[in-house]
Amino acid sequence: MSGERPQVWSRYWATGALHSCHGSFDQQYGGAFVSFWGHVAAELPLGARVLDLCTGSGALPRLFASLRREDGAWRCDGVDLAELPPPDRLGLADSRIHLHSSTSVEALPFDSACFDLVVSQYGLEYCDLALALSESLRVLRRHGRLALVLHHAESLPVRLARAEGSHIQDLLAADGLLDLAAGMQTLLMRARTPQGRMELDRDPAALALRNRFNAAQEQIEREIATSHCPDVLHEARQAIMQAFQEGPAGSARLQAYRQQLQDAQLRLSELVTHAVDEAKLSELEAQLHASGRNTQRALLHERGQLMAWSLLAG
């Protein structure tokens, strides 16, 4: 696990994102996800206790709360390694939901056999699977169930992550668009006075920098025209133009945007690395079978695209 992960995800959830695929689904996940979790929720007894692993902004607790609206005794605990925003900022005013920040899935702070259901969506695969699964089974009651949605190695989110990660790598490269934009910001500050403009007109290094920046902009245009995932390229151009318009404050904006891209690069890289292929899923099922649990796997599709594995164990 990357040592930067808790800080990177803490900053991500602080933006108000509702889930980890915010760029693909602007609000909640779509029909296939709701259908899967609806079936899981429908089988819960009244007053059930649920644990959501790697809860993030509480997307699953929020969904379960809407599905269990009439069950006043239902309760959900969500744990995450990140430092999460306060519940009111996440829109989680439901007193039945309790989120626990800075909490490792591999060492859960709960008694054994206290949950009727343990769930995770796009989260458990980032952990030490053997330890996380062992802890999940420890806190489950004897007849409790485990329900997981896991990144599929061939899914749309993984393919988009590879493409977007490549774009970000180019943007952040030495003498890439972000470096050139920072240099241009310096030139713009010099050009704020008549003396500075005169000096720039006679400065061959400044002319060379402008030419490299313009060439990089043209390259971005070509990549946008051919990429099936150009969003980050559009965002980069917009962030740079905004920085140029802000005068002296633009340097801070560019630096903040660089941090945002670096965070995204780590998240996307880990998504690709930890996505679950057939062999890894079989290992997971084998551990569950060894504990005496039966499993049921399926593929989740949304808008005609493969999105995830689903795995039930009981």
Q: What digits encode the pLDDT tens for the residues 176-185?
A: 999 999 999 9
Are 256 and 302 in a shared domain? Answer: no
Q: Quick one: 200 and 296 in the same domain?
A: no
DSSP β-ladder status, 295-302 and 75-79: unpaired
Same domain, 266 and 304: no
Q: Are residues 74 and 209 in the same domain?
A: no
pLDDT digit string (tens) for 35-46? 999 999 999 999
Q: Are residues 140 and 18 in the same domain?
A: yes
So what's the pLDDT on residue 30?
A: 62
pLDDT at position 150: 98
The stretches in the chain having pLDDT less than 70 are 1-2, 19-30
Is 232 found in the same domain as 148? no
Q: What is the pLDDT of residue 24?
A: 46
Query: CB 175: neighbour CB atoms within 10 A?
Result: 11
**Same domain (yes/no): 57, 186:** no
Number of domains in the chain: 2
pLDDT number for residue 27: 47
**198 and 305: one domain?**
no
pLDDT value of position 20:
63
Same domain? 10 vs 139: yes
DSSP annotation of 106 reads G
The edge-to-edge listing of strands for the beta sheet with 49-53 is 97-100, 75-79, 49-53, 115-121, 140-151, 305-313, 295-302
What's the mean pLDDT when you consider all of the chain? 92
Mark whether 232 and 123 lie in a shared domain: no
Q: Which domain holds residue 233?
A: 162-271
Residues 252 and 308 in one domain: no
Cβ pair 151, 157 in contact under 8 A: yes
What CATH number is attached to the domain comprising 17? 3.40.50.150
Statement to judge: residues 174 and 86 lie in one domain: no
